[in-house]
Amino acid sequence: MSAIQNIFKLYAPEYLKLYGNAMPENHRKTISAIQQCRHGSFGANVFRCGSCGNIHITQCSCGNRHCPTCQNDKAALWLINQSKNLLPCSYFLITFTIPDDLRPLFRSNQQAAYSAMFSAASDTLKTLAKDKHYVGADKTGFTAVLHTWGRQLQYHPHIHFIVPGGGLSKEPQEKWLSSGRAFFIHVTPLSIIYRAKFRDEIKKAGLYHLINSVVWQKDWVVHSKAVGDGRASLKYLAPYVFRVAISNARIVSYGNHQVLFRYKKSGSNRLRTMTLDAMEFIRLFLQHVLPHGFMKIRHYGLLSSNSSTPIEKVRELISLVYDVVKLVAVPLLPKPKFVTCKHCGDAMQRTKFISARNRAPG
C-alpha cells in the first residue's frame, strides 16, 4: 500500500466528517478511488505463465487521474503516442502563470477560469507566431498541460506548453519557418498579449467584475526555456505531464495526525522538509482535483488530431535529416512492461478478468 493511500485510509474518514457536507462530489470520488486502489474493489486480472503454468492475480487500479499510483504507467504510454508527432527541430517549454491575486477566483470558478487561461495562452502563441518579427508562421502546433500546484502543495495554476520551434508558411507554397534557438517568442510580448487576451476571456465568462483592477496593471509572468530537440524534450517532459500534486516518493513519514514530506525550493537543489497536519495535507491535495471531465492536456494546430497538414508532410518540410531523426527516435521509447512469473521469470499472459462483484468475500 502506498504512503498517500495509507494517509487517506487513516485520515480521510475524519476529513469527511468535518467537511463532507460542503465537499464537491469530485473530491469525494477521488478520496474513495485512492482508498480502494488495487485492493479488489475494481476487479482483478489473472495471468498464467506459459513456461511453468504458474498463476498470478493482480488487483486492478482505480484509474483516477489524481491517484499517484495510477499515473506512472500513463507517462510511458503518453511518450509512445507523442513520439508519432515528433518533429526534427528545437523545442521549447513555455509556461503561462497568473498573478497571486487571481488564485481565489480560480479556486472558486475552476471550470471557467482554467478554460479562459487555456484560450488566452494558446491564442497568444498563435497570434505572435504569425508576426514576422518573431516566426511569421501561419500554422504552428503545440501541446499544453495544466498544473495547479507548487512544490509545497500550494495552489498555483499554470500551463506548460511544449512548443516545436517554428511553423509553416501559408499555402500553396508551404515551407517550414524556424524560430530562434534561444526563444520561440520573447517573453515580454507574450506576457503583454496574454494578459489582454485573458481579460477578454474572463469578460466572456462573466467573471470580470470579481477582479480587482490592480491585476491588470501588474506584469504577468511567462517563462520560456529551450529544452533541446524533440526526442530530448519528450523524454524529459513525459514524467512531468502526468505528475499529480505530490508523489509517494516525497512522503517521508506520517502518523500522530501529521504528514512530513520533502520538497525543493525553486532554483535550489537542496532538499527541505515540511510538516502538515493531516487534515491540512488532505485539503491541500484535494484543491488540485480538477472539475469532472476537464481536459488538462490539449493539442493545438499541427499537433492536433484534425490538422489539415499530415505530420509526415511537416517533417519533410523541416529538414533533410528527417530519416536520421526517425531512426534514432525509436530506441528512446520505453519498452512494454510485462507481468513476470515469480517462479521462472518468464513473461506471463493475461487470461481473464475477474469483476469485483464476482469475487468471494474477503
* Whether residue 156 is found in the same domain as residue 38: no
The fraction of the chain above a pLDDT of 90, given in percent, is: 58
Judge whether 103 lies within some domain.
yes
**Same domain assignment for residues 200 and 321:** yes
Residue 38 inside a domain? The answer is: yes
Q: What is the four-CA torsion angle of 63, 65, 66, 68, rounded to 10 degrees?
A: 60
102 and 59 within one domain: no
Residues 64-89 have pLDDT tens digits of 889 888 876 677 778 778 877 888 88
**What percent of the chain stands above pLDDT 70?**
91
pTM of the model: 0.86
Range of the domain at 58: 3-63+338-358
Residues 55 and 179 in one domain: no
Residue 318 shares a structural domain with residue 236: yes
Q: Do residues 191 and 235 share a domain?
A: yes
pLDDT at res. 328: 38
Q: Is residue 39 part of a domain?
A: yes
Same domain for 43 and 190, yes or no, is no
List the grid coordinates of 124: 497568444
- Give 210-235 pLDDT, tens digit per residue: 999 999 999 999 999 998 887 777 77
Residue 128 lies in a domain: yes
Q: Does residue 279 lie within any of the structural domains?
A: no
Task: Report yes or no on 263 lying in a domain.
Answer: no
Q: Report the domain count for the chain.
A: 2
Is residue 239 a part of any domain in this protein?
Answer: yes
Of the candidates 255, 211, 237, the one whose C-alpha atom is nearest the C-alpha of residue 297 is 237
In terms of domains, do 48 and 108 share one? no
Pick 40 or 132 by higher pLDDT.
Answer: 132
> Are both 56 and 193 inside the same structural domain?
no
What is the reported pLDDT for 343?
84
Using a 10 angstrom Cβ sphere, with 0-12 exposed, 13-18 middle and 19 or more buried, the burial of residue 327 is exposed
- Residue 270 belongs to some domain of the structure: no
